[in-house]
Amino acid sequence: MTAQRWIGFDADDTLWHNENIFERVHERYYELLARHHDAATVKDALYATEMRNLDLYGYGIKGFMLSSIETAIELTDGKFSPAEVRELLSLGREMLNHPVELLDGAREALECLAPDFRLALITKGDLRDQERKLRKSGVAGFFQAVEIVSEKDKPTYAAILRRHGIEPGSFLMVGNSVRSDILPVLELGGAGIHIPYRITWDHEHADVPGGSEGRLFRAASLRELPEIVRRWR
């Protein structure tokens, strides 16, 4: 094990925008099904389908599209037309081809921290899509380690720390999801900085735990990272 301090970064909605892309597609999806059900009913049904399929499809746009088609067929009793399916598939392709837009202060934070810390990107989702986004982001060169995983839980983080020889007490995770980015790391003895994004998928909601003084921090933006890291350090 090494005492070298590491900082891990989530990707989607921490370094670059992601959920806003889903938000726009959700709005079009509700419009497509508006003659069958109200938006709240469609939203609840889609979320239930996504949760039912999560172990099979995993996270990401491809799984979302499969669940959205399945939900549309169920909600319309099979009347969802081939043309409407084609439109959904077209929306999915647009999502996969969407430009990668860094959050405000992302590059500056990485540039500031890179000289003094080893940086790791730890993200979940579809492998090809996450690799594409990292490649197009322009920030791949800041990271000494890149981990694209199927789930972000305590065993996953423990395996990552072991693989890179990182002591939990020397590890700080930065992310927008309490459930995926903060809680597992705190349980292992590490620290976390929670930076909420303006939209949070229901599956990622969790209560911020107490009793983690000195290891749990909250920031409004990535521009606050250098000062918070100084306090942690």
CATH number at residue 223: 3.40.50.1000
Locus of tokens 């810390």: 117
From 71, 96, 121, give the residue that closes a domain: 96
pTM, two decimal places: 0.90
pLDDT band at 7 (very low <50, low <70, confident <90, very high): very high
Cβ-based neighbour number of residue 152 at 10 Å: 25
Q: What is the pLDDT of residues 156-208, one digit of tens each?
A: 999 999 999 999 999 999 999 999 999 999 999 999 999 999 877 776 777 77
What is the total count of domains within the chain? Answer: 2
Domain containing 206: what range?
A: 6-16+101-232
Rounded Cα–Cα distance for residues 223 and 197 (Å): 14
pLDDT band at 3 (very low <50, low <70, confident <90, very high): low
87 and 138 belong to one structural domain: no
From 96, 119, 152, give the residue that closes a domain: 96
88 and 108 belong to one structural domain: no
52 and 134 belong to one structural domain: no
* The pLDDT of residue 2 is above 60: no
Q: Would residue 157 count as lying in a domain?
A: yes
From 39, 64, 96, give the residue that closes a domain: 96
Q: What is the pLDDT of residues 46-94, one digit of tens each?
A: 999 999 999 999 999 999 999 999 999 999 999 999 999 999 999 999 9
Contacts within 8 Å (CB) and 24+ apart, 19-24? 19/197, 19/199, 19/200, 19/201, 20/198, 20/199, 21/95, 21/98, 22/64, 22/95, 22/201, 23/199
* The pLDDT of residue 214 is above 90: no
Answer yes or no: are the C-beta atoms of 91 and 25 closer than 8 Å. Answer: yes
